[in-house]
Amino acid sequence: MKKEVVVIGAGGHGKVIADIIKKSGDIFAGFLDDGDISGDMLLGKVEECRKYSDKWFIIAIGNNEVRAKMAESYPELKYYTAIHPSAAIGENCCIGDGSCVMANAVINPSAIVGKHCVVNTNSTVEHDCVLEDFVHISPGAILCGTVIVGNKTHIGAGAVVRNNLKITSGCTIGIGAAVVNDITETGIYVGVPAKKLVKGF
């Protein structure tokens, strides 16, 4: 049976997820958004979500902290997992509720993707990786095998993480960075090899 899905967030990220829902054969029911926007597919403000409790929901907000707060505010909703038909998902993978896997993304065997994660366009999550909840892997980023990424960490576009590493929660890995060692302190990491960005640097 086809699922009717309401997308929370009507920005660019929301448009992409709405497209994935349609391409997956399910029904895009419309957007909920608190911004000053209009359109035929705008159902109302986010707080009106409970009016649509018979439907499925996905939070289309790229910012990990905001996405987490939204999910924590509405834990009773049924959360939809959006997977683009062109994504390659290996055997024995687990993808949590509310997560999104975009076009041409690769998730290889035995990888675990937590709840409300974003695995963005053309990104690669190799075998045996673990993404904890509310992680965002940006377009073109590559996680080599057996990488563990902590809650609410954001991996920037085109970044590469060497195999067998762990990145702690709440980090930001900059665009094009190369992570070659474990990251144990929360912070922003940039460069090749990636180093913590110090205030005033």
Are 122 and 137 a contacting pair, CB within 8 Å? no
Instruction: For the chain, report the end-to-end CA distance as a whole number of angstroms.
Output: 55
Among 13, 84, 116, 127, the active-site one is: 127
Q: In the annotation, is 127 catalytic? A: yes
Single-letter residue type at 51 = K
Helical H runs in 96-153? none
The type of residue at 171 is C
Among candidate residues 77, 117, 79, the one with its CA nearest the CA of residue 101: 117
The residue type found at 159 is A
Separation of alpha carbons 53 and 41, rounded Å: 17
Per DSSP, the three-state class of 181 is coil
Q: Tell me which residues are annotated as active site.
A: 127
